[in-house]
Structure 1
Amino acid sequence: MDGGRRLAQSLMQARRKYAAALGWAKAPRAPRPRGALRWARFALPTLRIARALARRRGAGVVASALLLAGSLGYGVIRGGHMPAVAEALTDARDAVANTAGFRIAAVALSGNQQITREEILATAGITGRKSLFFFDVDVARAKLKTNPWIADATVLKLYPDRLQIGITERRPFALWQINGKVLVVADDGTVLEPYVARRFTRLPFIVGRGAQTRAKAFVAQLDRYPSIREQVRASVLVAERRWNLRLKSGIDVRLPEDEVERALERLVRLDNEKKLLSRDIVAIDLRLADRVAVRLSEDAAKAREDALKAAEKKAKRKGGDA
């Protein structure tokens, strides 16, 4: 038995040496890259299926195609290369169309005043590689409408190589102050951009949460009374219910929640008859329908108090003389 074991070991050693001499020895395994095990779990079953199909007559080509397609698709998805692959396919498709004479050679724009041509082309996805034949006008229109300045857009193909884009812009309506920031807004309340450009200084100034969506109706009411509107520095929405007017003189006019025009008509009448807005006052309260409350400035209040005291002393002296 012992001699037999030694003989077997000798034969095994000789076989290993012979295999090593012929280059059959297995090389040490390199560490598997990350994701290799996951790929193996997918690839091995697929390979088995392909081999099984290949055993059948006429199925070899089909199995090979399926295996190749599955391997490529899995690699693209697992590697996160799908956007790059899609872009490459789109570029290749456009290149073919461009060779046939469908390259976008000219873009005619109309309607843009606040936004530049470069902004429009970039937003719509128009580059020098794009072909008119494969350009999706619906997608381009949707992209353009993501710009807050653009209320609507039309995109029209003019074959073989021209594109026509019409822009309907929102108009800047007011400057809206909220949370310490000043923003340019349209009449529908859409925020267009932060206030930076000096060209917007003449827009109405509104303040408060919700003011941007209610300003259009209020400004229309205020426009009916130009003598008041010209003196307004800011319109402040209080508790999202009613408006106060901050005048350039510093007077605070408190308007009611309802019947705003009635209150403005009363203010115009009082100013015409009593020169109310020219007096030394800090606030006018028009919230009650049957009265008007006025708060004097500190100096005016002191002067009024001194005048009342002087009148009272004078009346007492007259009483004593009598």
Structure 2
Amino acid sequence: MPKRLAPTASADGGRVRILDRAIIGGRRFFVGLSASRAATCGAGTWLVALLFAATGAYGLQRGGHMPVAIETARDMADAAANLAGFRIANVNLSGQNHVTPGDILATAGVKPTSSLVFLDAEAARTRLEELPWIKRATVQKLYPDRLDIQLVEREGFALWQKDGKINVIARDGTIIAPYSDDPRFIRLPIVVGDGAEKSVTEIVEALSLVPGVRDQVRAAIRVADRRWTLKMRNGIDVRLPEHGLVDALQELAVLDRDKQLLTRDVTIIDLRIADRVSVRLSDAAYEARQVDLKAQSKKKGGNT
């Protein structure tokens, strides 16, 4: 008898069953995907929008157009806020003396189309305080349409000369502006040299205590960023010590009062060594001195 074979699954039958399971699993997946699509539709739309926005921003940045785009967006926002009644209609300025209103508004970022809503008051204050003349600024927004800007300006304290250029400086040495023939600057004391602007308060305040000397000073020269030499109006150089500045100036005032030292025919008065005053005569005075000494010597010789 022929041998009876036990029933087995054919290769095609196995493939069919595997395919059936794949189809059923696929249907379940797509059914689940369809069910969740409605829930994620809104999020997908936002993701697409963000993708386009990011792509656009990247393109603007790469093309160097981002500042223009930001300015355009700001103008559009200002326009909308202005329609709502928030246009800056009143600007109150106070404390300005050297800075013009136009420069103040331009620096603060206030334009005819600016709205109060989108003006960054803190950023405006920071930009204003970067101006050399302005020491402190306050920017206040008063809704719906008023802006208050209060300034405290620096005062010109001295003139600083370096490398042939003269600038007006504040008490702390900040350069405020190039020197001009403005009457407010003509009588300011003059300091010269490297480091003079940083130590200007020291010499100006010391001279203010000795007005008899101060009024004869043309300029104060900073030497090696350690001490001062005064250039007097008549050409005499007065060398001051590194320490004891006020004492030396007061001693000079006494010598000038009692000995008329600052009107003598001398070129240098050296006060750098305590308790000693050295004087250098001018060439003419030196020669005259030598003639006098010879005459005195001959006279003494004749008497003997």
User: Amino acid of the residue matched to residue 153 of structure 2?
Assistant: E
Identity %: 50
Of 249, 253, 259, which residue of structure 2 is paired with 1:268?
A: 253
Residue 176 (structure 1) shift: 0.3
TM-score using structure 1 length: 0.79
Map 1:147-296 → 2, pairs under 5 A: 147-199=131-183, 200-296=185-281
Point out where structure 1 has 5 or more consecutive residues left out of the alignment.
1-52
Of 54, 71, 74, which residue of structure 2 is paired with 1:87?
A: 71
Distance 1:98 1:273, change over 3 A: same
User: Amino acid of the residue matched to residue 234 of structure 1?
Assistant: A
Q: Which segment is superposed worse, 146-155 or 65-74?
A: 65-74
Residue 64 (structure 1) shift: 5.0
Map 1:99-138 → 2, pairs under 5 A: 99-138=83-122
Residue 67 (structure 1) shift: 5.2
Contact persistence 2:57–2:66 (CA under 8 A) = no
CA distance in 1, matches of 2:50, 2:265: 90
Measured on the aligned residues, the alpha-carbon RMSD in Å equals 1.8
Indicate the SS of the match to 2:91: strand
Point out where structure 2 has 5 or more consecutive residues left out of the alignment.
1-32
1:316 aligns with 2:301: yes
Contact persistence 2:221–2:230 (CA under 8 A) = yes
User: Which residue is 2:290 aligned to?
Assistant: 305
| Runs of 4+ deviating beyond 3 Å | 56-61, 63-71
Distance 1:155 1:65, change over 3 A: closer
Distance 1:313 1:123, change over 3 A: same
User: Amino acid of the residue matched to residue 279 of structure 1?
Assistant: R
Indicate the SS of the match to 1:119: helix
Number of aligned residue pairs: 266
User: Amino acid of the residue matched to residue 220 of structure 1?
Assistant: E
CA distance in 1, matches of 2:90, 2:154: 26
Indicate the SS of the match to 2:290: helix
TM-score using structure 2 length: 0.83
Map 1:64-83 → 2, pairs under 5 A: 64-65=48-49, 68-83=52-67
User: Amino acid of the residue matched to residue 226 of structure 2?
Assistant: R
Distance 1:280 1:81, change over 3 A: same
Contact persistence 2:168–2:177 (CA under 8 A) = yes
Map 1:1-40 → 2, pairs under 5 A: none
Contact persistence 2:107–2:127 (CA under 8 A) = yes
Contact persistence 2:137–2:150 (CA under 8 A) = yes
User: Amino acid of the residue matched to residue 161 of structure 1?
Assistant: D
Contact persistence 2:238–2:268 (CA under 8 A) = yes
Question: 1:230-284 deviations in whole A, cap 9, x for unaligned?
Answer: 0000011110001111110111111100111221121111111111111111110
Indicate the SS of the match to 1:245: strand
